[in-house]
Chains A and B, each alone.
Chain A
Amino acid sequence: DGGITQSPKYLFRKEGQNVTLSCEQNLNHDAMYWYRQDPGQGLRLIYYSQIVNDFQKGDIAEGYSVSREKKESFPLTVTSAQKNPTAFYLCASLKGGQGGNEQFFGPGTRLTVL
Protein backbone atom coordinates (compact mmCIF):
# COMPACT_ATOMS: atom_id res chain seq x y z
CA ASP A 1 0.00 0.00 0.00
CA GLY A 2 1.16 3.52 -0.73
CA GLY A 3 1.56 5.88 2.16
CA ILE A 4 3.77 7.80 4.53
CA THR A 5 5.61 6.18 7.40
CA GLN A 6 7.23 7.87 10.36
CA SER A 7 9.52 6.26 12.87
CA PRO A 8 9.81 5.87 15.71
CA LYS A 9 6.31 6.40 17.10
CA TYR A 10 7.70 7.48 20.47
CA LEU A 11 11.16 8.95 21.05
CA PHE A 12 12.87 9.98 24.24
CA ARG A 13 15.85 12.27 24.27
CA LYS A 14 18.18 13.47 26.95
CA GLU A 15 18.97 17.14 27.04
CA GLY A 16 21.94 18.00 24.84
CA GLN A 17 21.41 15.12 22.42
CA ASN A 18 20.56 15.35 18.74
CA VAL A 19 17.87 13.01 17.46
CA THR A 20 16.62 12.24 13.96
CA LEU A 21 13.02 11.55 13.06
CA SER A 22 12.40 9.47 9.97
CA CYS A 23 9.82 10.17 7.27
CA GLU A 24 9.45 7.97 4.19
CA GLN A 25 6.81 8.05 1.43
CA ASN A 26 6.19 5.71 -1.49
CA LEU A 27 3.54 7.90 -3.12
CA ASN A 28 5.98 9.39 -5.65
CA HIS A 29 5.17 12.82 -4.24
CA ASP A 30 7.41 15.76 -5.06
CA ALA A 31 6.92 17.89 -1.94
CA MET A 32 7.41 16.96 1.69
CA TYR A 33 6.79 18.87 4.91
CA TRP A 34 7.51 18.77 8.63
CA TYR A 35 5.04 20.24 11.12
CA ARG A 36 5.19 20.53 14.87
CA GLN A 37 2.05 20.23 16.99
CA ASP A 38 1.76 21.58 20.52
CA PRO A 39 -1.41 21.70 22.63
CA GLY A 40 -3.49 24.72 21.70
CA GLN A 41 -1.13 25.74 18.90
CA GLY A 42 -2.34 23.84 15.89
CA LEU A 43 0.32 22.72 13.43
CA ARG A 44 3.31 24.92 12.70
CA LEU A 45 5.67 24.51 9.77
CA ILE A 46 9.31 23.61 10.51
CA TYR A 47 10.77 22.88 7.06
CA TYR A 48 9.54 21.87 3.64
CA SER A 49 11.04 20.57 0.43
CA GLN A 50 9.51 20.95 -3.01
CA ILE A 51 12.17 18.94 -4.83
CA VAL A 52 15.14 16.69 -4.13
CA ASN A 53 18.24 18.48 -2.82
CA ASP A 54 16.27 21.62 -2.01
CA PHE A 55 14.40 22.74 1.12
CA GLN A 56 13.11 25.91 2.76
CA LYS A 57 12.73 27.04 6.33
CA GLY A 58 9.29 27.32 7.82
CA ASP A 59 8.07 29.49 10.65
CA ILE A 60 9.90 27.66 13.46
CA ALA A 61 13.08 26.25 11.85
CA GLU A 62 15.50 27.28 14.60
CA GLY A 63 17.07 24.25 16.28
CA TYR A 64 16.07 21.86 13.47
CA SER A 65 17.77 20.61 10.32
CA VAL A 66 16.64 18.50 7.36
CA SER A 67 17.99 16.83 4.24
CA ARG A 68 16.34 15.69 1.01
CA GLU A 69 18.80 13.39 -0.73
CA LYS A 70 16.09 11.09 -2.07
CA LYS A 71 12.58 11.81 -3.26
CA GLU A 72 11.18 9.25 -0.84
CA SER A 73 12.88 10.46 2.33
CA PHE A 74 12.85 13.68 4.36
CA PRO A 75 14.47 13.14 7.78
CA LEU A 76 14.26 15.80 10.49
CA THR A 77 17.05 16.28 13.04
CA VAL A 78 16.20 17.95 16.31
CA THR A 79 19.41 19.49 17.58
CA SER A 80 20.47 20.46 21.08
CA ALA A 81 19.88 24.09 20.03
CA GLN A 82 16.12 23.47 20.09
CA LYS A 83 15.23 24.61 23.60
CA ASN A 84 11.78 23.10 23.90
CA PRO A 85 11.63 20.06 21.61
CA THR A 86 8.95 18.07 23.44
CA ALA A 87 6.07 17.92 20.95
CA PHE A 88 4.25 15.82 18.39
CA TYR A 89 5.88 15.89 14.95
CA LEU A 90 3.97 15.28 11.74
CA CYS A 91 5.39 14.65 8.29
CA ALA A 92 3.34 15.20 5.14
CA SER A 93 3.75 14.92 1.38
CA LEU A 94 1.99 16.31 -1.67
CA LYS A 95 2.09 15.44 -5.34
CA GLY A 96 1.69 19.00 -6.54
CA GLY A 97 1.09 20.49 -9.94
CA GLN A 98 -1.57 18.65 -11.88
CA GLY A 99 -1.28 15.80 -9.42
CA GLY A 100 -3.44 17.47 -6.82
CA ASN A 101 -3.28 19.69 -3.76
CA GLU A 102 -4.04 17.29 -0.94
CA GLN A 103 -1.35 16.82 1.68
CA PHE A 104 -1.12 13.29 3.04
CA PHE A 105 0.09 12.90 6.60
CA GLY A 106 2.12 10.27 8.38
CA PRO A 107 1.09 8.87 11.78
CA GLY A 108 3.45 11.18 13.70
CA THR A 109 6.28 10.89 16.21
CA ARG A 110 5.93 11.91 19.83
CA LEU A 111 9.26 13.32 21.09
CA THR A 112 9.85 13.74 24.80
CA VAL A 113 12.91 15.32 26.35
CA LEU A 114 13.88 13.81 29.68
Chain B
Amino acid sequence: AQTVTQSQPEMSVQEAETVTLSCTYDTSENNYYLFWYKQPPSRQMILVIRQEAYKQQNATENRFSVNFQKAAKSFSLKISDSQLGDTAMYFCAFMTSDSGNTPLVFGKGTRLSVIA
Protein backbone atom coordinates (compact mmCIF):
# COMPACT_ATOMS: atom_id res chain seq x y z
CA ALA B 1 0.00 0.00 0.00
CA GLN B 2 1.10 3.51 -0.76
CA THR B 3 1.69 6.01 2.03
CA VAL B 4 2.32 9.74 1.98
CA THR B 5 4.06 11.56 4.83
CA GLN B 6 4.12 15.27 5.50
CA SER B 7 6.42 15.85 8.45
CA GLN B 8 5.61 19.52 9.04
CA PRO B 9 2.16 19.97 10.64
CA GLU B 10 2.50 23.77 10.66
CA MET B 11 4.75 26.34 9.04
CA SER B 12 4.86 30.09 8.74
CA VAL B 13 6.57 32.46 6.33
CA GLN B 14 6.88 36.19 5.93
CA GLU B 15 5.12 37.77 3.00
CA ALA B 16 7.35 37.88 -0.12
CA GLU B 17 9.68 35.21 1.27
CA THR B 18 10.16 31.64 0.02
CA VAL B 19 8.98 28.53 1.84
CA THR B 20 9.40 24.81 1.15
CA LEU B 21 6.91 22.15 2.25
CA SER B 22 8.16 18.59 2.53
CA CYS B 23 6.53 15.39 1.35
CA THR B 24 7.81 11.83 1.18
CA TYR B 25 5.98 8.78 -0.10
CA ASP B 26 6.37 5.06 -0.20
CA THR B 27 5.42 2.90 -3.16
CA SER B 28 6.63 -0.07 -5.17
CA GLU B 29 5.08 1.32 -8.35
CA ASN B 30 7.26 2.78 -11.07
CA ASN B 31 4.62 4.89 -12.79
CA TYR B 32 2.50 7.27 -10.77
CA TYR B 33 1.42 10.87 -10.30
CA LEU B 34 2.10 13.25 -7.45
CA PHE B 35 0.02 16.30 -6.57
CA TRP B 36 -0.06 19.25 -4.23
CA TYR B 37 -3.52 20.49 -3.27
CA LYS B 38 -4.32 23.70 -1.42
CA GLN B 39 -7.27 24.00 0.96
CA PRO B 40 -7.91 27.62 2.00
CA PRO B 41 -10.27 28.54 4.87
CA SER B 42 -13.22 28.09 2.46
CA ARG B 43 -12.25 24.37 2.50
CA GLN B 44 -12.43 24.11 -1.30
CA MET B 45 -9.68 21.79 -2.53
CA ILE B 46 -7.62 23.40 -5.28
CA LEU B 47 -4.96 21.68 -7.37
CA VAL B 48 -1.68 23.60 -7.13
CA ILE B 49 0.69 21.47 -9.16
CA ARG B 50 1.16 17.93 -10.46
CA GLN B 51 4.13 15.77 -11.45
CA GLU B 52 4.27 12.63 -13.56
CA ALA B 53 6.85 10.21 -12.19
CA TYR B 54 8.23 9.39 -15.62
CA LYS B 55 9.16 13.03 -16.21
CA GLN B 56 12.56 14.03 -14.85
CA GLN B 57 11.90 17.73 -15.20
CA ASN B 58 10.41 19.35 -12.12
CA ALA B 59 6.96 20.87 -12.62
CA THR B 60 6.45 24.61 -12.18
CA GLU B 61 3.28 26.75 -12.06
CA ASN B 62 4.04 30.45 -11.68
CA ARG B 63 5.29 30.92 -8.09
CA PHE B 64 4.94 27.22 -7.27
CA SER B 65 7.56 24.63 -8.11
CA VAL B 66 8.43 21.14 -6.97
CA ASN B 67 11.64 19.29 -6.23
CA PHE B 68 10.92 15.73 -7.31
CA GLN B 69 13.53 13.18 -6.24
CA LYS B 70 12.25 9.82 -7.46
CA ALA B 71 15.02 7.69 -5.96
CA ALA B 72 14.55 9.33 -2.57
CA LYS B 73 10.73 9.27 -2.96
CA SER B 74 10.59 12.94 -2.10
CA PHE B 75 8.27 15.58 -3.53
CA SER B 76 8.66 19.01 -1.91
CA LEU B 77 6.73 22.16 -2.83
CA LYS B 78 8.44 25.54 -3.03
CA ILE B 79 6.37 28.69 -2.87
CA SER B 80 8.22 31.81 -3.98
CA ASP B 81 7.21 35.40 -3.22
CA SER B 82 4.66 34.19 -0.65
CA GLN B 83 1.36 36.07 -0.59
CA LEU B 84 -1.28 36.39 2.11
CA GLY B 85 -3.63 34.41 -0.11
CA ASP B 86 -1.29 31.42 0.10
CA THR B 87 -2.39 30.88 3.71
CA ALA B 88 -4.02 27.44 3.64
CA MET B 89 -3.66 23.75 4.36
CA TYR B 90 -1.46 22.04 1.79
CA PHE B 91 -1.86 18.36 1.03
CA CYS B 92 0.55 16.15 -0.85
CA ALA B 93 -1.16 13.31 -2.71
CA PHE B 94 -0.21 10.21 -4.70
CA MET B 95 -2.01 8.34 -7.46
CA THR B 96 -0.98 5.20 -9.31
CA SER B 97 -1.23 5.49 -13.06
CA ASP B 98 -2.46 2.03 -14.00
CA SER B 99 -5.89 3.16 -15.16
CA GLY B 100 -5.91 6.81 -14.19
CA ASN B 101 -9.01 6.33 -12.08
CA THR B 102 -7.48 5.14 -8.84
CA PRO B 103 -8.14 7.17 -5.70
CA LEU B 104 -5.71 9.67 -4.28
CA VAL B 105 -3.70 8.83 -1.18
CA PHE B 106 -3.20 11.96 0.90
CA GLY B 107 -0.71 13.07 3.49
CA LYS B 108 -2.03 14.62 6.70
CA GLY B 109 -1.32 18.13 5.52
CA THR B 110 0.77 21.15 6.41
CA ARG B 111 -0.89 24.31 7.67
CA LEU B 112 0.89 27.29 6.14
CA SER B 113 0.48 30.79 7.52
CA VAL B 114 1.77 33.77 5.54
CA ILE B 115 2.53 36.68 7.84
CA ALA B 116 2.36 40.30 6.72
Residue of A nearest to B1 (CB): A59
Number of B interface residues in the complex (CB < 8 A): 22
A-B contact count (CB 8 A): 55
For the complex, would chain B's binding face be called helix, strand, loop or mixed by DSSP majority?
Answer: loop
What 6 A-B pairs come out closest when comparing CB atoms?
A105-B45, A96-B101, A42-B108, A31-B101, A42-B106, A43-B106
CB atoms of B109 and A42 under 8 A apart: yes
Q: Counting CB contacts under 8 A, is B33 at the interface?
A: yes
Which chain A residues have a beta carbon within 8 Å of chain B's beta carbons?
30-31, 33, 35, 40-45, 48, 50, 58, 88, 90, 92, 94, 96-97, 99-103, 105, 107-108
B13 contact set on A, CB distance < 8 A: none
Instruction: Write 8 A-B pairs (CB below 8 A) sorted by A numbering.
Output: A33-B104, A35-B106, A42-B108, A48-B103, A88-B43, A97-B99, A100-B100, A105-B44
Partner of B50, one of A40, A90, A94, A102: A102
Partner of B47, one of A30, A33, A58, A102: A102
Residue of B nearest to A33 (CB): B103
A97 contact set on B, CB distance < 8 A: 99-101
B59 contact set on A, CB distance < 8 A: none
